[in-house]
Chain A
Amino acid sequence: MRFLLRPKTGGLAILAAVIALLPLVLDNAFHFEIAITIGFNAIVCVGLNLLIGYAGQISLGHAAFVGLGAYGAGVLTASHGWDPLAAVGAASIGTGLLAFVVARPILRLQGHYLAMATLGLGIIIAIVLNIEDQITGGPDGMLVPPFSAFGWEPSDERQWYWLVGGFLWISVWLALNLIGSPVGRALRAVHGSEVAAEVVGVDTTHYKVLIFTVSAVLASLVGSLSAFYGMFITPNIASFFNSIEFVVMVVLGGMASTFGAVVGAAILTLLPQALTVLEDYEHLIFGLILMGVMIFMPRGLLPTLAGLRWRRRR
């Protein structure tokens, strides 16, 4: 288990193998749909984990960035006839700029202001998507044209699966590179002690803003792709509950563990499927999971399991 966490190559190989072999056990379109949803959530969580797990900053509004990506791409293609790839690019740049502009003044301050600000931002974005019905179709949602890139159009679930699987693998690879670099060390230093990081020359504001913006862009990319995949979006995609869900996924899987974030996303995407009878209690169950993890394994699932295994071997 421990080599899943540490040596980068081992983990990446396992992830590649899982992505490659999973289609063997997925035997209908619905199974593929779930796998694709896991992939989308996992990518958001890999980005969010850089922010929460490594830099120690909380965002309670990441679903709003997913929403901006979805509606940005949807509106630009459906109403303005843009090329899908250009629309995805424009939406992610726009989301990145917004994240940067919001974060810059807030992250100058130490403390939990980011959580408050992202909470507010997320709620505002969800409201705007609801009431600007001329543009977004309001609560009824809007149709999104099919995706295409360089003349290629993913035609069925299987092709979408490979697209999202590839995207996930690349996201994990990039995240692991980043964490192992001086930039990643600076991020962890910010988490460990902001003042100590500053006095050895780490511009803490810069790094916090940087990683917040990166994670927002990743969320936006996922939003855009998932809009094309589902071909229909509603403002619900940007809801507060979805933002919380992402945080719970990261915390459950294991903060500061990239593979943990993927595992957390997989478990919490599958759980509601397994518990369809308890649908009404979904919020409650998520809340209980969050509390349980915080109390019984504050480091999260994967790091805790790895720690147990390691201790036994010694």
Chain B
Amino acid sequence: MSLLRVDGLCKEFGGVHAIADLGFAIHPGTIHSIIGPNGAGKTTLFNLITGVYTPSAGRIWFDGVDVTGRRPSDLAARGMSRTFQNLQVFFNMTALENVMVGAHLHLDRGFLAALLGLPRIRRADAALGDEAARLMRFVGLDDFIGASADAMPYGALKRLEIARALAARPKMLLLDEPAAGLNPTESREIDNVIHKVAEQGVTVVLVEHDMRMVMEISDHVLVLDYGRKLTEGRPAEVREDPEVIAAYLGGQG
């Protein structure tokens, strides 16, 4: 059974069909990449899947449940987590606190207990701090565990978003251009992180322009162009597809 299924999905922005009649499925435990030229609708698709946007038409099933139109916090509770192409970091907090917010759903969120500062709340928070630090090391942020988020460089913030998303312990992790703006070494480290995440059984959905990365780590590739599915298949098949070559050469020179 598929973890995510999308059928007849459409999203219009005042006449622009950012996503048009799109259907596909993602199987659990795979690394699934979504590629396409700039403006193809990849980020819009992420926003639709995670509930940030409501579709103009079509349906989305996650883990066997129709989740069309659900709000993001609801989908997070069902096991979806993501990062953003344009950073969405909590700059008013420390790096560690950013990651701790990621575990929000796994904490005691009782208002009265919080107000009274009950010891169990503080104990749970201390344990969570350790877990968050472990996640930061996992994504290679060893040097930033004590840092304030607004003092971190771009590449580190990209990884901070991954750590935060992992703190939610998702079934499916959506990464929107995690390697954009990173140097080749940093980019290989991200490769590594994605591999390790997938090994733990998390389904990874990846949007990335770095073709080396996509072709190396994906089990399955979906190609979008003007909001439509151009083709999909294993990386080797997709790479040979004349339409894909045309779209990339035509679109980006």
Residues of A within 8 A of B (CB): 173-174, 176-178, 180-186, 188-189, 191-193, 195-204, 210, 256
Contacts and interface: CB of A to CB of B under 8 A. Distances in A.
Interface of B: 50-52, 71-73, 75-77, 80-82, 84, 88-93, 97, 100-102, 104-105, 107-109, 111, 113-117, 121-122, 125, 161, 164-165, 167-168
B73 A202 contact: yes
Nearest to A108: B71
Contact of B114 (A173, A182, A197, A201): A182
A182 B104 contact: yes
What 3 pairs between A and B have smallest CB-CB spacing? A192-B90, A177-B117, A181-B114
The A interface is mostly helix, strand or loop, or mixed, namely helix
Given A185-B97, A188-B93, A193-B88, A199 B105 contact: no
A196 B88 contact: yes
A201 B72 CA distance: 7
9 contacts: A176-B117, A191-B92, A192-B90, A192-B91, A192-B93, A196-B164, A198-B51, A198-B73, A256-B92
B117 A181 contact: yes
A180 B115 CA distance: 9
Contacts of B76: 198-201
Contacts of B100: 185
B137 to A, nearest CB: 20
A200 B92 contact: no
A178 B114 contact: yes
Nearest to A174: B115
Contacts of B116: 174, 177
A186 B104 contact: yes
A185 B81 contact: no
B73 A204 contact: yes
Contact of A184 (B91, B113, B114, B164): B114
Contacts of B122: 180
Max chain B CB contacts within 10 Å: which of A173, A188, A197, A201?
A201
Given A182-B108, A185-B101, A192-B90, A199 B72 contact: yes
Given A182-B125, A188-B92, A192-B93, A200 B104 contact: yes
A178 to B, nearest CB: 5
A184 B113 CA distance: 12
Contacts of B92: 188, 191-192, 256
B114 A199 contact: no
